Structure 1
Amino acid sequence: MGSYVEDPPKATLSENGATEEVVIPPKINKEQLDAGALFVLKSKGSWWHCGYHLTTAIVAPALLSLPFAFGLLGWSAGVVSLVLAGLVTFYSYTLLSLVLEHHASIGKRQLRFRDMAHDILGPGWGRYFVGPLQLGICYGAVIACTLLGGQNLKYIYLVTTPNGTMQLYQFIVIFGGLTLVMAQMPSFHSLRHINLVSLLLCLAYCACTTAGAIYIGYSKDAPKRDYSVTESGVNRLFGFFNAFSIIATTYGNGIIPEIQATIAPPVTGKMFKGLLVCYSVVATTFLSVSVSGYWAFGNQSQQSVLSNFLVNNKPLLPKWFLLITNVFTLVQVSAVVLVYMQPTNVVIERAFADPKKGEFSVRNIVPRLIFRSLSIIVATTLAAMLPFFGDIMALFGAFGCIPLDFILPMIFYNVTFKPSKKSLTYWGNTFIAVISTVLALVGAVASVRQIFLDAKTYRLFANL
């Protein structure tokens, strides 16, 4: 399943009183001939690189929907949910890291989420549940980010050309063309410099978004603010769960093992340092955008708070400021697409590449170019056809991100380390897993319900 011995065994030979340490070559087996692990998940990075990858995967433009989630929850529930989800995911990702480090220390390093499920829960879990779930969630994130990239391009177009006639699907196709080129980056490790730029860009557009919301909130054009939750009864309840799903998706990752796989051995302690880098950015950006956006627009916050900066195509901020903010967002979301493409790239390489040939041989370059391009083309087509960004994000959070990020890490840790059933760790992990399961089930129902409610206003290739 893509596992390998982290440090090859050594033997000591003595001759005429001299000692020499000899490395015994590991036995070649089918696992080591997995082209997906060999070409995509190269273990060459540092903990800094890990931090860059983590930040790009988590601090993505989806966080611009947090003020909208606050509008469904209100001030108190919104802030508590945001902080609590941050603490739980940090704890959850730390547990995953510890499990991965444990298996690496006993000579079986796991490179993928499905490898963890295979080794810890059994082959069926990896092959039929975790593997397909992770692949679907990550590819869904590619579709959602492609849609968001198209929306950013359209936003820039409307700022510069208020009466323009171009449609959303056209901008999605343009953005898809950009990612079609960038998707040919050969490995996850090769994205490290791109993801460093991505980290800086997410700080930049979040600072711009926060400053813009505060400026509008104090300006003479400030909208009338209402912080009450407008829905009541069953609609209010489902709105709560829909908001929880959005927040869970915002923190969602689903590729912690693949990110840790990019770290050069020994891996001990490096993932935790990367998480500290990531969550320092998370704390700065998530709170600033959600609080300032909800403060400025209240329950009128839209699914992307940047949409509140335009009223009837009239900008509430200087055009140059809106353009800079959206360019930062546009470039960063292209990096997010590349990160979430990696599980798909692993599957493509495993199925069509020959590990006995060179990574850049014609035999491997041609299928890589063809199938990665097809993957982007399909994602772009689906994004153009189904422009329901907020609803998609909520459903992804409930159905995929919560199981991968809130439930399975607790189970993996308890099964691997077997903490005492009288211990706080065991019951804390069990409690988080059970509550998360309930939230996932109810959140999925709420998200599907919202999609059906909104479907009557949507159509294929809608110009939203």
Structure 2
Amino acid sequence: MDPNMAGHTGDSPFLLSPSTGRAMTPSASYDGKPGPAAGDAGAAFVLESKGTWWHAGFHLTTAMVGPTVLTLPYALRGMGWALGLSALTAVAAVTFYTYYLMSRVLDRCEAAGRRHIRFRELAADVLGRVGVLRGGHRADRHQRRHHHRQHPHRRQLPPDYVRELGAEWYPEAVPLHHHRRRRVVSLLADAVIPLAAVYQPRVPGPSLRLHHPRLRRVHSGSMVSNAPVKDYSLSPSKSGKMYDAFLSISILATVFGNGILPEIQATLAPPAAGKMVKALVLCYTVVFFTFYLSAISGYWAFGNKVQSNALQSLMPDSGPSLAPTWLLGLAVVLVLLQLLAIALVYSQVAYEIMEKGSADAGHGRFSWRNLAPRVALRTLYVAACAFVAAALPFFGDIVGVVGALGFIPLDFVLPVVMYNIALAPPKRSAVYVINVAIMALFTGVGIIGAIASVRKLVLDAGQFQLFSDHVIS
């Protein structure tokens, strides 16, 4: 036995990646049981890996199927029936494909002993290889050759060398922590809504999302005598049609966007391979019914007069409301509850970052030392988001900007790039060609969509009033 390996039990929190030379977090299936890294209270207190595939499906559904579906009729308004439904179907298919690819990349990293619990760690691992394939591998090979010249009888590097090399290449590498989960369940009428405090809802929540299209379908058709005249015409100018179409695609990107898939997959009990496919199927089953019903019914009822927030179309500025007050109030309450669920689930990434610096891993997670700053910071974060949303009533415009600048790069471009780097399919294979085509296409769509979204924002700025009750569309 190598004397330098004496006393080494395999519990080291660092593993050396043979492909990158980086120190990586071992998978929970690794023989060792690494404890939380000192100072990383965010991961220790926020995340926990105990879920099943249907837990992950609920997380994906909660993160994706939310009040942003209210913008779907507005997205169809910019493209019309044929192009709008085609774009909706295409974006659904592409996002399912890219999320599947990202899951495959995470599975590959886990199989190599590097299970990532954060998107930024996955990106640093995979995208960092572009830089280290040349420089990092040369340095790694040079140090290994030097070690073997000095110690030709040793076939393994001593653990101290592994730690030092890992700290050099990946100083922020931390062991995988077991994540925490809690649940808060609220019952309202026949809707069962998961309010997942930390990534682990226990009851399905698609029924809430079904209320949105149901409310619009019942009260936006022929049952309402004072419904507006339907007009499905598009912009008369070619440039206007182009800008409206790319704005609509940017909105669709936001509606289908899910920037926390690695964090959601991290909640799965290891091994996670294959489980996310079932979770995606569950999520997109809910997506099919809610998204298509919302888009078709809202656009059919209001035509090109539909507001960026479809509920706003039921409450026109002039004339009576198109639905009973109690029903509109119920719809608003359901939207609010869904926003709370999204804030609790989708914002866990922000909470983890905040608590990494504010919490003390040496104290209990529910100790006063950690509980007080957690409650204060989370409350301030949600209040700040609500304040900005109330101050800037550009619902559709903001959704378009976020989709073009945020979700298109994150959910359409990065997954195919990371897959081609991590799994390295042959360059002449269909997968590689499709991935390159998606990357090129949506890079262009994102650029033009950003221009179209900002243009719409500038055009609507003249109607802006701080904290206005009127949502600009």
TM-score computed with the length of structure 1 as normaliser: 0.78
| Residue 328, structure 1, aligned to residue 339, structure 2 | no
Q: Which position in structure 2 is the counterpart of 1:307?
A: 312
How many Å apart are 1:324 and its aligned residue?
Answer: 3.0
Q: Does the CA-based 8 Å contact 2:412-2:438 persist in structure 1? A: yes
Q: Partner amino acid for 2:356?
A: R
Q: Which position in structure 2 is the counterpart of 1:230?
A: 235
How many Å apart are 1:28 and its aligned residue?
Answer: 5.6
Q: Which position in structure 1 is the counterpart of 2:144?
A: none
Q: Which position in structure 1 is the counterpart of 2:411?
A: 405
Which of the numbers 193, 199, 207 marks the counterpart of 1:200?
A: 207
How many Å apart are 1:99 and its aligned residue?
Answer: 0.9
How many Å apart are 1:2 and its aligned residue?
Answer: 8.5
How many Å apart are 1:259 and its aligned residue?
Answer: 0.9
Q: Which position in structure 2 is the counterpart of 1:351?
A: 357
Distance 1:46 1:456 in 2: 50
How many Å apart are 1:358 and its aligned residue?
Answer: 1.8
* 1:61-210 matched pairs, under 5 angstroms: 61-122=67-128, 187-189=198-200, 192-193=201-202, 196=203, 198-210=205-217
Distance 1:388 1:231 in 2: 24
Structure holding more helix per residue: 1
| Residue 260, structure 1, aligned to residue 265, structure 2 | yes
Distance 2:382 2:331 in 1: 25
3-state secondary structure, aligned to 1:8: coil
Q: Does the CA-based 8 Å contact 1:50-1:263 persist in structure 2? A: yes
Q: Does the CA-based 8 Å contact 2:401-2:450 persist in structure 1? A: yes
Which ranges in structure 2 are unaligned for 5 or more consecutive residues?
Answer: 1-22, 132-193
Distance 2:325 2:35 in 1: 60
Q: Which position in structure 2 is the counterpart of 1:270?
A: 275
3-state secondary structure, aligned to 2:117: coil
Which ranges in structure 1 are unaligned for 5 or more consecutive residues?
Answer: 10-24, 126-181
Q: Which position in structure 2 is the counterpart of 1:374?
A: 380
Deviations 1:241-262 (A, max 9, x none): 1111011111011110111111
| Residue 8, structure 1, aligned to residue 19, structure 2 | no
Distance 2:90 2:217 in 1: 22
Deviations 1:189-223 (A, max 9, x none): 3xx14xx464221122322223333xx24543332
How many Å apart are 1:33 and its aligned residue?
Answer: 5.5
Q: Partner amino acid for 2:56?
A: C
The change in CA–CA distance for 1:242 and 1:231 in structure 2 (over 3 A counts) is farther
Q: Partner amino acid for 1:452?
A: V
How many Å apart are 1:317 and its aligned residue?
Answer: 2.6
How many Å apart are 1:349 and its aligned residue?
Answer: 1.4
Q: Does the CA-based 8 Å contact 1:229-1:299 persist in structure 2? A: yes
Distance 1:4 1:35 in 2: 18
How many Å apart are 1:85 and its aligned residue?
Answer: 0.3
Q: Which position in structure 2 is the counterpart of 1:164?
A: none
The change in CA–CA distance for 1:281 and 1:293 in structure 2 (over 3 A counts) is same
How many Å apart are 1:356 and its aligned residue?
Answer: 2.8
| Residue 240, structure 1, aligned to residue 266, structure 2 | no
Q: Does the CA-based 8 Å contact 2:251-2:400 persist in structure 1? A: yes
Q: Partner amino acid for 1:201?
A: L
The change in CA–CA distance for 1:197 and 1:277 in structure 2 (over 3 A counts) is closer
Distance 1:371 1:338 in 2: 13
Which of the numbers 294, 299, 317 marks the counterpart of 2:299?
A: 294
3-state secondary structure, aligned to 1:302: coil
- Bigger radius of gyration: 2
Which of the numbers 55, 64, 82 marks the counterpart of 1:58?
A: 64
Q: Which position in structure 2 is the counterpart of 1:282?
A: 287
The change in CA–CA distance for 1:401 and 1:217 in structure 2 (over 3 A counts) is farther
Distance 2:213 2:273 in 1: 32
TM-score computed with the length of structure 2 as normaliser: 0.77
Q: Does the CA-based 8 Å contact 1:117-1:123 persist in structure 2? A: no
3-state secondary structure, aligned to 2:362: coil
Q: Does the CA-based 8 Å contact 2:249-2:449 persist in structure 1? A: yes
3-state secondary structure, aligned to 2:354: helix
Q: Which position in structure 2 is the counterpart of 1:45?
A: 51
The change in CA–CA distance for 1:217 and 1:73 in structure 2 (over 3 A counts) is farther
Q: Partner amino acid for 2:232?
A: Y
Aligned residue-pair number = 385
| Residue 221, structure 1, aligned to residue 243, structure 2 | no
Distance 2:375 2:47 in 1: 18
Distance 1:105 1:79 in 2: 39
Distance 1:450 1:201 in 2: 31
